[in-house]
Amino acid sequence: MNKYILVTGGAGYIGSHTVVALQKQGFIPVIADDFRNANPVVLEGLRHILGHETIVHRVDICDKPAMEALFEKYAFTGVIHFAAYKAVGESVQKPLAYYQNNLVGLLNILALIEAFEVQNFVFSSSCTVYGEPQGAKEVSEATPKQLPESPYGYTKWMGEQIIADFHRSAPQLKLMNLRYFNPVGAHPSARIGEFPIGKPNNLLPFVTQTAIGKQAHLTVFGNDYPTRDGSCIRDYIHVMDLAEAHVAALTYLMNQNEGLLEAVNIGTGEGTSVLEIVKAFERITGQPLPHVLGPRRAGDVIEIYANATKGQELLGWKARLSIDDAIKDAWAWENYLATL
């Protein structure tokens, strides 16, 4: 069995950190990315961290013939599928682009996995498949999936449905949905990190861009929610923990002899509010963070965080890094970007 692993969207935020984790585990990651949501600076960073070039193919996953050529060339042992649009707020403004890119891309990859009998597949899913938790805000993989609150969430919800139907038609393949909570932070080298194109949609990059002066102030989208301090609560997980979870998932799949389909929450098990993130940032960096209280954002869930037990029991994986680590690493990355 060869060590080639296809990483679609591998020049992106989570993809690039997973490339580092895969390489460290002895795999040979092959990046397929059209760089619509990634910056070539990331490739410099990967070279610095890994000490050599990563295999990169500039290709759109919706271009099936181009993707087929990669499957022919590398006979992949596994595929980790990241390539997708992923901003909840943006998806409310651009639903058709989200459905086109996220669903057609997934369908192409699954068709090629079937055609080339690639045994191991990991899908970048999301806690947004749980929608707004109706009961406990701590969700496990057994928590019933609600209808999502945004088109982005629907592309993940439908993606998991497509994979479930695909599994029934190809039961010999080993498939895993990793349901991420909120990825934050950067590699401790500060040479790769989140590289938003234009104004950031996500909280922590907006915080660091505000602190460094790229944004005038942070707007807290709502402080009148029924939570401990009125702002939304999320499970923020360090991107390096998230990257390690993909290696654990792939290794698990490769060690199984039978086909399977599993979903696993990838979160810390702790909830943190928007205002708590702001206060933690100011405490850790000593930087005041200009912020204002604004209206709620369409598509937002009020409160959700992971029950992360299954990841530990099935994959032997557990988040090790803290919110403080993530904020420190995100701030170091923002400062590195300012030197470019």
Nearer to ligand WQD, 70 or 176 (CB): 176
Gyration radius (Cα) of the chain, Å: 19
CB of 221 to ligand WQD, least distance (A): 4
Q: Which residues bind ligand WQD (CB under 6 A)?
A: 86-88, 126-128, 180, 182, 201-203, 206, 218-221, 232, 234, 274, 297, 300
CB of 126 to ligand WQD, least distance (A): 3
User: Torsions phi, psi of 74, nearest 5?
Assistant: -110, -15
CB of 55 to ligand WQD, least distance (A): 25
- Interior/surface letters 194-230, b for 16+ CB within 10 angstroms, e for the rest: bbeeeebbbbbbbbbbbbeeebeebebbbbebebeee
Nearer to ligand WQD, 74 or 206 (CB): 206
DSSP per-residue codes, 265-286 = EES-S--EEHHHHHHHHHHHH-
CB of 97 to ligand WQD, least distance (A): 15
Rounded to 10 degrees, what is the CA torsion of 325, 274, 87, 237? 30
Alpha-carbon separation of residue 74 from 26, 66, 67, 105, 270 (angstroms): 16, 13, 11, 19, 40
CB of 139 to ligand WQD, least distance (A): 12
**Residue 305 zone, left/alpha/beta (φ > 0; ψ -120 to 50; rest):** beta
Pick the closest to residue 179 from 242, 221, 252, 87 (CA basis): 242
Place of tokens 């992923």: 86
Nearer to ligand WQD, 74 or 160 (CB): 160
Residues annotated catalytic, as ranges: 152
Pick the closest to residue 110 from 123, 127, 128 (CA basis): 123
Q: How far apart are the first and last CA of the chain?
A: 41
Nearer to ligand WQD, 87 or 173 (CB): 87
Nearer to ligand WQD, 115 or 293 (CB): 293
